[in-house]
Amino acid sequence: MHTCLDLLAQSDSSLQEALVGEMRRQSTGIELIPSENYTYPEVLCLLGSVFTNKYAEGYPGRRYYGGQEFTDVIENMARERACAVFGAEHANVQPLSGSPMNQAVYLGLLEPGDTILAMDLSHGGHLTHGAPVSHMGKLFQFIRYKTDPATGAIDMDEVMSLAKKHRPKLVLTGYTSYPRDMDYAAFKAVADSVGALTMTDASHYAGMVAGGAMMNPFDAGFDVVTTTSHKSLRGPRGGIILCRKDLAARIDKSVFPGLQGGPHMNVIAAIAYTMKRAAEPAFREYAAHVVSNAKALAARLMELGADLITGGTDNHMLVMNTQTTYGINGREAEEALDAAGITVNKQIVPDDPNPPLRPSGIRVGTPAATTRGMGNSDMTQLADWMHEILQHPNNTGRIAEIKRDVEHFCAQFPVPGIDMTDLDLNS
């Protein structure tokens, strides 16, 4: 980052100051938002590369502008590597991020007004899975399945009965706030029983699928898998649609020219790099470690009395009901932890009686902490700090002490891509 900081020092010192501030925040605090991660230094380099200058509407070999000899190389590389990592027949790496990625699938494979069976937002689904406030929720007829109140797990009997009743054209799995793996074979059976297509939005857990630590929906015969590239995969902020070969033309046409214009070629270069890393043996170790860290964190928090949705985790995240555990809402919990340099996000829980900006819980995840090299015993320390803070969220003196301990602890775990000597610049 030297060049960037040096350049900004000459031309925009206010921006340089904010950048150094963010670098310091990321280095001295513990990132536990399950959808965040620290990307590779090579990804930061490619994002800031001259590929950002290039327009490349179309696809490799079929572009609407000249000068594509290198953009074609990187896009083909990204597509081929993504197919190899996930065992897919076709990949589209142009979606600008997660929302257009999912929209492109619905618009490419369905007609407006068609029915989609997907997970309810408050039970862990995503806005693009048909929340009434989303444009997709207005354009398509979404039927929402929920989790079983007794276990917190998806109720497959309910999924089957909703499918029989509403006969969806698409059965959608995937989540942003649910701490378990999916029974893809059961979802496929539901879809087959009504002749529906199957899709998983694996954005949160694609890193664990790539690394073999969670199940791969294609093994159960799924038609489409979507994923953002910046969460557990550690890549740039982008989207990838993986699908069967016979759906490829409809998907590609839906992304461009249906929904988007020029692809972000700097992001596609970075996705190519991310897929190379995801295929390496070290990534398998990383994926397993993310899950073992989440289990260690969950185990210690539960030992201390935490009420976790589904009573634990099989993936990279846990969802805690802070209202029932500590008598505080998710916003109060998020703010108290933030004051100690521990970053989580407030989260609605199933059928939450509270509104989204003051929900009943928080979401906690381990991809970023694992990237920094934190291990199972570090998770115990983290849980102990979290418990103490959440028990006494107004004890500002003690929280300030914990913040100092957190900073000291974090100094052992450098953030990839951040040179600590840069942080002295504006201190």
| Closest distance to ligand DSN from the beta carbon of 233 (Å) | 14
Asked if residues 235 and 271 have their Cβ atoms less than 8 Å apart, the reply is yes
Of residues 126 and 144, the one with the C-beta less far from ligand DSN: 126
Dist CA 217 CA 223 (whole Å): 9
The count of residues in the chain is 427
- Segment 165-224, which members bind ligand DSN (CB under 6 A)? 176
- C-beta closer to ligand DSN: residue 348 or 402: 348
Please pick, among 55, 148, 380, 407, the residue that the annotation labels catalytic.
55
In whole angstroms, how close is the CB of 204 to ligand DSN at the nearest point?
6
Known catalytic membership, residue 404: no
Catalytic residue among 201, 223, 252, 422: 201
| 400 exposure class (CB count in 10 Å sphere: 0-12, 13-18, 19+) | exposed
Q: Which is nearer to ligand DSN, 27 or 203 (CB)?
A: 203
Question: Rounded CA gap, 341 and 338, in Å?
Answer: 5
Name the amino acid, one letter, at 101.
M
Query: Which residue lies nearer to ligand DSN by CB, 98 or 361?
Result: 98
Verify binding: residue 366, ligand DSN, rule CB under 6 A. no
Site string for ligand DSN, 56-95 (x = CB under 6 A): ----------------------------------------
Q: Considering just the CA atoms, what is the radius of gyration of the chain in Å?
A: 22
Q: CB of 126: closest distance to ligand DSN in angstroms?
A: 6
Q: What is the largest CA-CA distance in the chain?
A: 65
Rank residues 35 and 329 by Cβ distance to ligand DSN and give the closer one: 35
Q: Which residue is nearest to ligand DSN (CB)?
A: 35
Q: How many residues bind ligand DSN (CB under 6 A)?
A: 4
CB of 322 to ligand DSN, least distance (A): 18
- Of 24 and 316, nearer to ligand DSN (C-beta) is 316
Does position 98 interact with ligand DSN (CB under 6 A)? The reply is yes
Q: Catalytic annotation on 55?
A: yes
Does residue number 347 form part of the binding site for ligand DSN (CB under 6 A)? no
Q: Do the Cβ atoms of 136 and 126 come closer than 8 Å? A: no
Residue given tokens 């190899």 in the structure block: 84
- Residue 237 annotated to the active site: yes
- Least Å distance, CB 100 to ligand DSN, is 12
Q: Kindly give, in sequence order, each residue whose CB lies less than 8 Å from that of residue 143, ignoring residues fewer than 6 positions away.
A: 115, 116, 117, 118, 162, 166, 168
Judged by DSSP in three states, 163 sits in: helix
Binding mask 124-153 for ligand DSN (x = CB under 6 A): --x---------------------------
**Token pair for 22:** 């963010």
Q: Any contact of residue 35 with ligand DSN (CB under 6 A)?
A: yes
C-beta of 125 vs 393, nearer to ligand DSN: 125
Closest distance to ligand DSN from the beta carbon of 239 (Å): 10
Report d(CA 343, CA 326) in Å as an integer. Answer: 18
**Cβ-based nearer residue to ligand DSN, 35 or 216:** 35
- Minimum distance, C-beta of residue 75 to ligand DSN, in the bound complex (Å): 24
114 catalytic per annotation: no
Strands 239-243 and 317-321: unpaired
Distances (CA, A) of 412 to 374, 378, 415: 9, 11, 10
Establish if 343 lies at the interface with ligand DSN (CB under 6 A). no
**Integer Cα distance of 97 and 104 in angstroms:** 11
Q: What's the rounded Cα separation, in Å, for the pair 164 and 194?
A: 7
Q: Are 35 and 349 in contact (CB under 8 A)?
A: no
In angstroms, the CA 171 to CA 355 distance is 28
Residue 301 Cα to chain centre, angstroms: 23
Say how far apart CA 427 and CA 17 lie, in whole Å: 10
Shortest reach from residue 103's CB to ligand DSN, in Å: 13
Interacting residues with ligand DSN (CB under 6 A)? 35, 98, 126, 176
Which residues participate in catalysis according to the annotation? 55, 57, 201, 228, 231, 237
